Amino acid sequence: MNIDSKGCNGDGSAINLERTGNSGTITFSIGSWDCPSGCLYHRYWVFKVEGGKAEFIEAY
């Protein structure tokens, strides 16, 4: 599942969910700097979700 704020053109921020059995990984991303042309920079936060709890994995 992917939720983003891109609209019709370019790039932007997004929330991605990847499911594996009873758990999942949620990745939040924020794009910046000239996003209509594809965002030059992104920042990501990754969480593992299992049993109703979220665990921070990494940011990059």
The rounded distance, in Å, linking the Cα atoms of 46 and 54 is 10
Question: How many structural domains compose the chain?
Answer: 1
What range defines the domain where residue 14 resides? 2-59
Examine the pLDDT at 2 and tell me if it is beyond 60.
no
Q: Is 40 left (phi over 0), alpha (psi -120 to 50) or beta?
A: alpha
Burial class of 25 by CB neighbour count within 10 A (0 to 12, 13 to 18, 19+): middle
Cβ-contact 4, 10 below 8 angstroms: no
pLDDT digits (tens, 9 = 90+) for 3-58: 555 455 667 788 999 999 999 999 999 988 887 787 888 999 999 999 999 999 99
